[in-house]
Structure 1
C-alpha cells in the first residue's frame, strides 16, 4: 500500500523558521551581494568538475546562476536553490526553486481558497494553456505531509531569459499559509527544459513535500 502522511497539528503560534529539502545534486545559491559572485563561481566550478563542459559553457552557467541570484535578492527571496547539469553533447539541464514570503495587500482577505480561485482564472486565460491543450496548466488545493493544506499551480510562461531573448518556462508554485499570520510562503520552481516538464514537476513536488515550519520551544 502507498505510504500515507498526516501533517502534525499546528501550534497556535507563529513559526520562527522553515525547513526545505533538496536532491543531492541541487545546491543553494548565495544571495548576499557582498559574497555571491565569488561563491557562485566556486560552486559552479565544483559542480561541473569532471564533466565535459568547456570554458564557454562554464562561463554561461556562472552568468546564469549569478543573474538568478541577483533577481532573487531583488525580489526579497528567502532562499534560492538550483541544479545546473551538462549532459553528453553539451545539453544543459537547468532548474531553480525560489522561496518567498508574501503578504497580501491590505484590502485583500488572506484566504487560500480565494487566492487559488484567482490563480485558476488566470490559468484559464493564459494563451499558452490553450495552445498546449491545457498541458502543464493546473490549479489545485493539496495536502503537504508536514505543513497541511496548501495551494498548487502549474503553468507555462514566456520570460525574458537573462536578456538573451524569450524562453518558455514550466513553473510550479506551492503556496503555504503561514500559521497565525496573513502571510504565505511561496515555493516557486521553474525550468526551461520543457521536454522533461513532467519529470521536473515530479522533482518540484518532492521538494515541496519536505516543507515544514519550525516553532520556538514551548516554555516550561
Structure 2
C-alpha cells in the first residue's frame, strides 16, 4: 500500500530532514504508515541549545524552563492550544514539556497547518545546555493518541557519558 505513495513519502522525509537541519537537530526520525487508505505520519527530532541559568544557578533548572513556556489552555479560534507540564523521564529525571496543537508553516499566501506537537526540554547535567525532544504530526484528528505515542518515545531519552562530559543527546 505504501509503494504507491513513494513520492509523498519522499516529500515527507525530505521536509523532515530540511526542518531538522534548519533547527540544528542532531537526530531526526520519521514514521509513515498507511491506515485505511489514509496516511499517518509523525516526526521526532532531538536538538541541544545553550540556556543560561538564572541568578545563583550554574545550570538551567526545570522550574526556570517552565517559566519560559506559555500555556494556551483553551483552543483558540484557529484551533491551537498548549499545555505546560513538568514530567519525570525514567533515565534523566524532571523535564519541562509543552504539548498541544500548534500552527505550523504558512507564509504570505499559504495558510498554516495544524499539527499535534510535544516539545520536552531536558537540562543537560552539569552544563548550561538544554536538550529538546520535539515530536509532531499533522494528524490532529488523533491528537490524544499521538500525545501518548510521543510520551512513550520521549520516555526513552537518555544522555550517554563521553568521558567526563556528555556527548550529543541520544
TM bucket, shorter chain: 0.7 to 0.9
**Cα shift readout 1:191-217 (whole Å, capped 9, x = no counterpart):** 111111111111110111111112246
Residue 150, structure 1, aligned to residue 95, structure 2? yes
Question: What TM-score results when the alignment is normalised by the length of structure 2?
Answer: 0.80
Q: Select the residue among 20, 26, 35 that pairs with 1:72.
A: 20
* Alpha-carbon distance, 1:102 to partner: 1.1
**Cα shift readout 1:125-184 (whole Å, capped 9, x = no counterpart):** x8x7344898x6321111111111111111221112799742101110111110000101
Which structure 2 residue ranges, 5 or more long, are not aligned?
55-59, 165-170
Runs of 4+ residues over 6 Å off in structure 1: 161-164
Residues 199/52 of structure 1: CA separation in 2 closer, same or farther (3 Å cut): same
Higher strand share: 2
Instruction: Tell me how far apart the structure 1 counterparts of residues 36 and 106 of structure 2 sit (CA, whole Å).
Output: 23
Residues 146/52 of structure 1: CA separation in 2 closer, same or farther (3 Å cut): closer
Higher helix share: 1
| Bigger Rg over Cα | 1
Match runs of 1:171-210 below 5 Å: 171-210=117-156
In the alignment of these two chains, the number of paired residues is: 158
Residues 133/161 of structure 1: CA separation in 2 closer, same or farther (3 Å cut): closer
Answer whether contact 1:85 1:92 (CA < 8 A) is retained: yes
Secondary structure, counterpart of 1:211 in structure 2: coil
Answer whether contact 2:101 2:140 (CA < 8 A) is retained: no
Secondary structure, counterpart of 1:152 in structure 2: strand
Secondary structure, counterpart of 2:32 in structure 1: strand
Aligned to 1:114: 64
Which structure 1 residue ranges, 5 or more long, are not aligned?
1-50
Residue 97, structure 1, aligned to residue 44, structure 2? yes
